[in-house]
Amino acid sequence: MQNPYDVWSAPSSSRQSSDIPPSIYGALPYTNSPVAPGSITFHFARLNPSILNSVVLGPDNCPKFHIVTESSMPGYTILKAVDGGNIGMIQWKPDDSQIEIRGIMHKRAARDFLRLSDDNRCRIMCVRGKDYIWISEQDCTCMYLGGDVSSKIFAKLTRDQSCFRLVMAAEAISAGLLPSAILAIILIQSGKA
């Protein structure tokens, strides 16, 4: 199966716009859309070489989290706080990757945490018994509460030239959804899920 994200790493001179595959969940085009009021912006930067080794910068451009996949333990991706404490983990397995978020969710199958909808149009993230929908739209992937995509956008993920940009509603961050959203984004953008 071809990785739909490979086109982003290919030199621009070797591809043409017609070479880019159609957008599927998680495949994001470039955008410079404005930030919604009452939201906080984070950037997944220093992709080395991908989101599996990167830094999440806060609105002040200071590191807030580190995403680490060490070569000594390639089967694990760890979400670390800036002070080095582990917040969450993805254990990559060919058939059944596992995910854990400290204080939020015990280790469970990634397919249960971020399941594909029956119509294959979106991913449903289950956190603390509530469902949140991740769905690709024109130039982004958005997270909504439950089964209502007409409700307020809780999070919006876009791809910039050198990073991913996550805009989250302050109320979603206050509800403790930031670590879950970051790990969902890693799963979606890794090409492994």
Is 126 within the bounds of a domain? no
Is 130 within the bounds of a domain? no
Per the structure, the count of domains in the chain is: 1
Query: Lowest mean pLDDT: which of 20-24, 129-133, 141-145?
Result: 20-24
Phi and psi angles of residue 169, each rounded to the nearest 5 degrees, phi first: -65, 140
> Is the Cβ–Cβ distance between 177 and 155 less than 8 Å?
yes
Whole-structure pTM over 0.85, yes or no?
Answer: no
Is 1 within the bounds of a domain? no
Is 167 within the bounds of a domain? yes
Residue 168 lies in domain: 36-110+156-190
Is 51 within the bounds of a domain? yes
Phi and psi angles of residue 135, each rounded to the nearest 5 degrees, phi first: -135, 135
pLDDT at 7: 40
Percent above pLDDT 90 for the chain: 61
Is 173 within the bounds of a domain? yes
28-71 pLDDT tens trace: 444 444 446 789 999 999 999 899 999 999 999 999 999 999 88
Report, as an integer, the average pLDDT of 129-157: 87
pLDDT at 118: 92
Q: Which two tokens stand for residue 119?
A: 């119509």
Is 135 within the bounds of a domain? no
Is 182 within the bounds of a domain? yes
Q: How far apart are CA 185 and CA 107, in angstroms?
A: 17
